């Protein structure tokens, strides 16, 4: 489980292009291309190194009219997946 105060950020060696509300993300070091839907694109955009997981969840709740518990679980799963493919980074534990 990711803590609500955790602040994800984009990995430096990624390239992103948004077309018709959907992002294409290239993870340069892996040579992998990932396509995100509208919600995933918004989550990725919010992972700018300034927004916490809690703030990202609240933005998804407001923007997509989804229940907070569902949004929290979906955002956590999605961020975890993007970390696994190298598109996002999480801060090192203290």
State pLDDT tens for residues 17-48. 999 989 999 999 999 999 999 999 999 999 99
73 HSE (CA, 13 A, CB side) = 4
Q: Provide the pLDDT for residue 1.
A: 82
Q: How many residues does the chain have?
A: 94
CA distance 67 to 54: 14
Distance of CA 76 to the CA centre of its chain: 8
Q: Provide the pLDDT for residue 94.
A: 65
Distances (CA, A) of 86 to 11, 63, 90: 7, 26, 10
Domains along the chain? 12-85 (1.10.10.1150)
């Amino acid at each position: 489980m990711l803590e609500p105060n955790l602040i994800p950020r984009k990995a430096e060696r990624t390239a992103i292009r948004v077309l018709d509300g959907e992002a294409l993300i290239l993870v340069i070091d892996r040579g992998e291309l990932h396509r995100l839907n509208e919600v995933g694109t918004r989550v990725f955009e919010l992972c700018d190194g300034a927004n916490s997981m809690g703030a990202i969840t609240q933005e998804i709740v407001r923007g997509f009219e989804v229940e907070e518990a569902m949004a929290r679980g979906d955002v956590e799963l999605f961020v975890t997946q993007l970390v696994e493919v190298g598109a996002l980074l999480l801060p090192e534990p203290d």
